[in-house]
Chains A and B, each alone.
Chain A
Amino acid sequence: MEAVIWSLIVLLGGLGLMLPTIDCLKESSRISPYLTVLATAIALGLLTTLVGKSGYLFNGVLRIGPLATYIALIATLGAFLVSLASLAQAKEWSTSPSLYSLMMLALLGVYFVLYVADASVLVPAWALVSVASYVLVGIKKDDNSLEAAAKYALMGVASSSLLIFGLALVLGVTKTSAFVQFTVVPHSIKAILLMGVMMLIASFGFKLGVVPFHGWLPDVYGGAHPLIVSFIAGVIKLISIGAFLRVLQPLIPSIQNEWFWIMTFLSVITMFYGNLAALVQKNVQRMMAYSSIGQAGYFLIAFAALSFSNTKIIALEGIGLHVTTYVLAKVGIFVGLAYFARKGFDLTLEGLSGVGRKLPFSGTSISILLLSLMGMPPLMGFWSKFMYIFYSIMEVAPWLAFLGIINSGISVGYYAMVIRYLLFSDPPKVDVKEETPDLEIYVLVITALLTIIPGLGLINVLASLLS
């Protein structure tokens, strides 16, 4: 297994560091986009060899586990799809070699955070991903991305400081740098542990977009270039879910009750804020940014369910499956928005009215992804959200599942509005049509198919990969 991790480091890290040099030497034609697509595809293949395995690597600083491998596979798939779509979008940007190099380095950092088992790896991996993501947000160098980058970077530095603070308090109590199961807490130091856990929740919550720490998210997701946002939302966001699972999950037994109530409170305000604020947006990209906040709330419900041993397994499966729904939908929707923007449409509701009838494949695929986020029965989103996440909390706190269902109802309001404007308005009187070389269409169709197919009876197969 160590050989696989070493090959991933050489493949993504080495190639990522070399790409700008390669493109500088070969000025006539850029090969870095193709190398990125190839490298992420190879990484996808390498990761499949880790499926189902578990064990410690590198003297116990990394721990391979089925759920982490599954999320890593999804992250790689997301990166592959984004790099495929970027062939049509970002290839001609002046900064594109650094874009591809940073994408690969960030993906490598995501693996390390997902597999982390020791604080000495968590700190560098977190820094690698976050520094790469600040630069990625600002890489277009226009006004919108400048604002997004400044906000994201300042919030990110605060988040990193809180990470160190939280680690200081938690590790000061557990007296080891490894993230191990930790059950016996003397009453006198429980307050310190709790304070540390809250700082870590704040730090990871910044990246996930949990409500008191969400201030940057609408500006970044709504302001930066949609293609970059698809990478930030689809791949980089997974580090916070991985960190929740690896860093905080071993601490839950010692603070079970407090953990449940903190997660419940955060999930309720996150869901309601995200879904209600999305209702009033006129810009579709900003609407999807608020919908990301709403989705973060559903993840927090599953994290709340982690605190009980009888609901833990199904909650972990729910997190894995909802990561699939979320990544496929966000990557697809933002790539689709990037495609519409490239075709010259304004990304407001009015500007997109009837576009789905001019561009039928992308319009239909985006509608399918929106329906999946909404939780429409045959699709992936229904299974992950209703049958796993809400079901996992049903036994211990049915009212929380009820609030989640209410929020799903609210979210139908804005998802259905986008679908209505896309497919059921008069088509605009401009001459655009989908052409075969437009790679975004293939990405959209792939994400839509991957959303439909598992829902048709394969969901148990996917769930069996997770444990």
Chain B
Amino acid sequence: MEVFWYLIVSSILFAIGVYGLITKRNIIRMLLSAEVIFNAALLTFLSLASLDAAYGAMGGAIVIIAISLSAAEVGVIVSIAIMMFRMRKTLDVYELRKFKG
């Protein structure tokens, strides 16, 4: 079962991404962690789709659609980060909060 190994790699990537998303405070680092989760999802998608000949091609097509659309999300987040840096001179998400607690 080759698929098994791909799923293990994907679950490790998922764990790394969740860890980064929870512990990091920098918006760019959080974005990178979210992208790691996204890539883990794509890997799972492709490896499970490859098990079935009829559905496999469709799965690949959906993955390509998802990759191209995630570029839009990354673009928006990076532009929000640029706006944040211009207005606040920081990339720390937690410092955005005006009233602590």
Q: Is the CB of B30 within 8 A of A154?
A: yes
Provide the A159-181 mask, 1 if CB < 8 A to any CB of B, else 0. 01110110111011001110000
A286 to chain B, nearest CB (A): 12
Chain B residues closer than 8 Å to A124, beta-carbon distance: 65, 69
Q: Is the CB of A160 within 8 A of B84?
A: no
Q: Is A131 an interface residue (CB 8 A)?
A: yes
A247 to chain B, nearest CB (A): 13
Q: Is A141 an interface residue (CB 8 A)?
A: yes
A123–B14 alpha-carbon span in the complex (Å): 20
Provide the A201-212 mask, 1 if CB < 8 A to any CB of B, else 0. 000000000000
A171–B40 alpha-carbon span in the complex (Å): 16
Q: Is A127 an interface residue (CB 8 A)?
A: yes
Chain B residues closer than 8 Å to A177, beta-carbon distance: 55, 58-59, 62
Q: Is the CB of B83 within 8 A of A146?
A: yes
Provide the B24-57 mask, 1 if CB < 8 A to any CB of A, else 0. 0001001100110110111011001101101100
Chain B interface residue count: which class?
Answer: 35 or more
Q: Is the CB of B48 within 8 A of A138?
A: no
* With A134-B76, A171-B59 as contacts: A161 and B83 at CB distance below 8 Å: no
A134, A154, A165: the one within 8 Å of B93 (CB): A154
B61, B62, B96: the one within 8 Å of A150 (CB): B96
Chain B minimum-CB-distance residue to A134? B76
* With A165-B40, A175-B55 as contacts: A141 and B83 at CB distance below 8 Å: yes
B49, B66, B74: the one within 8 Å of A172 (CB): B49
A283 to chain B, nearest CB (A): 11
* With A134-B76, A156-B73, A161-B34 as contacts: A168 and B83 at CB distance below 8 Å: no
B66 to chain A, nearest CB (A): 5
Q: Is the CB of B93 within 8 A of A160?
A: no
Q: Is B8 an interface residue (CB 8 A)?
A: no
Q: Is the CB of B48 within 8 A of A168?
A: yes
Q: Is the CB of A158 within 8 A of B37?
A: yes
A128–B70 alpha-carbon span in the complex (Å): 10
Q: Is the CB of B37 within 8 A of A165?
A: yes
Q: Is A40 an interface residue (CB 8 A)?
A: no
Q: Is A157 an interface residue (CB 8 A)?
A: yes
* With A123-B66, A161-B37 as contacts: A134 and B80 at CB distance below 8 Å: yes
Q: Is the CB of A131 within 8 A of B73?
A: yes
A58 to chain B, nearest CB (A): 15
Provide the B79-101 mask, 1 if CB < 8 A to any CB of A, else 0. 01101100110000100111000
Q: Is A232 an interface residue (CB 8 A)?
A: no
B21, B59, B73: the one within 8 Å of A130 (CB): B73
* With A120-B62, A147-B96 as contacts: A171 and B48 at CB distance below 8 Å: yes
* CB pairs A–B below 8 angstroms (8 shown): A123-B69, A124-B69, A138-B80, A143-B87, A158-B21, A161-B17, A161-B41, A177-B55
Nearest first, the 10 A-B pairs at minimum CB distance are A172-B48, A168-B45, A165-B41, A164-B41, A127-B69, A147-B96, A161-B38, A161-B37, A157-B34, A168-B44
